[in-house]
Amino acid sequence: MSDERQVAMENELNLNEQMMQRIEKLKTLQEEGRDPFDVYKVNVDFDSKQIKDNFEEFEGKEVTLAGRLMSKRGQGKVVFADILDKSDRIQLFVKIDNVGEDKLNDFKSFNIGDFVWVKGEVFKTKMGEVSVKVREFELISKSIRPLPEKFHGLKDPDLRYRHREVDMIMNPGVREKIAKRSAIISGIRSFLTDRGFMEVETPTLSPIAGGAAARPFITHHNSLNIDMYLRIATELYLKRCIVAGFDKVFEIGKNFRNEGIDQTHNPEFTCIELYEAFADYNDMMEIAENMVAYVCEKVNGTTKVMYKGNEIDFAPPWNRVTMADAVKDACGVDFMAMTSDEEAREVAKKHNVEMKKDLSLCTRGELLNTFFEEFAEEKLIQPTFILDYPVEVSPLTKKKRGNEMLTERFEGFVCGKELCNAYSELNDPIVQRERFQQQAKERELGDDEAYMLDEEFMHALEVGMPPTGGLGIGIDRLIMFLTESYSIRDVIIFPTMKPVNK
């Protein structure tokens, strides 16, 4: 047996022994009529952070608190302890003179991880630590499973993400990121509602997986006896809201894509998509850069963050570079000077560029996009809008004014990663149907991420949609940048994990 396996078995045996000891304590309490699980409610006046941040206001006053017992020190007539509530940790001072001998012994018997309610007076110790001089307390819930060892904590990445609740108990920085995530999403909502946008909710289950190029999750509806898809984007339903006459709409919600998991991808992720009638992609650029700067300053106090050793400044205006110029700057290839698809293919051969399909079937626009992803994308460190994507990779976008090969589409990049995507939305139903039909051919050639034809959406477009600008932002990635997190799992409260038995 390996040493690691031996240690794991010993740890498991030790854990089982500790759990049995805790269960025996619980049984004793229950036999004495003091079952902590019979407590349904306690009154809590304040939280730890309120008291610590406003000590002068609370000094000498009686408060009631409740939280998880995180540490105990002292075995004589005085016990010091820390409890953790929703906001912070605070020290408890439990003295025999204040609670009596029997109650002090009760407190000493509590386990780390138990929940306790306390009432006492706020004061500051000789060491200057804000504390509560406990006069009353009650055990209000029992922890059967011990928390990780105090000094080593929960460090194994798989265990941290799998048992996220323990990760957040033991690692305050994780709790802070999740709290900041809430503040970022709240900031996005306030920014948009202040600009007159209306929040809507669209279906998560749909008979068509539309609005993006991605592989969907498929399920089956028994009553209707049809296959349905978890949405890969909210785009098509939101555009139908624009058709309905709502000029400014947005949705913050989950999308699902049956694809790989890595540092910047999770199968279930959160996006904000917004659409504004009578606007174009220039308006979307203005919204994107100002919204990100707004929420960054709201949660961090500045528009600047550090990310992977780079100081990133989200203050507007962001850099604006066409895709063709970005490629030319990165590798010297000028796609705008080319006159044919064949010329582009020859250049691709020289650069050993790999394509998803046979090179002989690739167009100049498809190769331009591939060259950008291969040579230019990773060099975009400061917030940058890459403008004017090829028609072939932008089936829902209007053609660029003055250039039939390109579209009025941009993507925003930070530190070499895509943050947002936006269009001057295609509203010509005849051209849109042609684009969908071309995508259908791509699917036949083996591209299972090509767009599906959505007849319900086409019906809406045929009713008539005004000129419209649309924008989508990956909220998880935005939170990664604003909290200096290098894995998307660090900013998702419960990331997707393979079951232990698999």
Report residue 208: phi and psi, to 5°. Answer: -130, 135
Backbone angles phi, psi at 318, to 5 degrees: -80, 160
Q: Is the dihedral of CA 95, 98, 100, 102 positive or negative?
A: negative
Alpha-carbon gap, residue 355 to 371, rounded angstroms: 10
How many Å apart are CA 323 and CA 311, to the nearest integer?
A: 24
| Predicted local distance difference test score (pLDDT) of residue 483 | 97
Q: Please report the pLDDT score of residue 441 as a whole number.
A: 84
Query: Under a CB-based contact definition with an 8 Å cutoff, are residues 113 and 141 in contact?
Result: no
Rounded to the nearest integer, the mean pLDDT of the chain is 93
> Where is average pLDDT lowest: 189-193, 208-212, 227-231, 241-245?
208-212
Q: Tell me the helix, strand and coil percentages in the chain, rounded to 5.
A: 40, 25, 35
* pLDDT, tens digit (0-9, with 9 covering 90-100), for 163-204: 999 999 998 999 999 999 999 999 999 999 999 999 999 999
Indicate if the pLDDT at residue 445 is higher than 90.
no
Q: Which two tokens stand for residue 477?
A: 């990635």
How much is the average pLDDT of 139-150?
A: 89
Per-residue pLDDT band at 39 (split at 50, 70, 90): very high
Residues 4-27 have pLDDT tens digits of 555 555 666 777 899 999 999 999
Which residue in this structure is represented by tokens 């941009």? 410
Using CA atoms, how far apart are residues 428 and 218, in angstroms rounded to an integer?
30
Q: Is 403's pLDDT higher than 50?
A: yes
Point out the least confidently predicted range of 11-20, 367-376, 482-491. Answer: 11-20
pLDDT digits (tens, 9 = 90+) for 215-224: 999 999 999 9
- Extract the tokens encoding 330: 């990165």
Q: What does the pLDDT read at residue 50?
A: 96
Residue 74: pLDDT band with limits 50, 70, 90 = confident
Residue 151 has pLDDT above 50, yes or no: no
SS3 358: coil
* Omega prior to 429 cis, within 30 of 0: no
Q: Quick check: 245 pLDDT over 70?
A: yes
Among 140-149, 311-320, 390-399, 441-450, the range scoring the smallest mean pLDDT is 441-450
CB-CB contact of 420 with 469 (8 Å): no
Q: What are the Cα distances from residue 290, in Å, to 139, 191, 463, 473?
A: 49, 9, 33, 13
Structural domains in the chain plus CATH codes: 3-147 (2.40.50.140), 170-318+382-490 (3.30.930.10)
Phi, psi of 30 (to 5 degrees): -65, -40
Q: Which of 494, 497, 493 is nearest to 483 (CA)?
A: 493
DSSP string, 288-312: HHHHHHHHHHHHHSSSEEEETTEEE
pLDDT-derived band at 432, boundaries 50, 70, 90? very high
pLDDT in tens, 454-484: 899 999 999 999 999 999 999 999 999 999 9
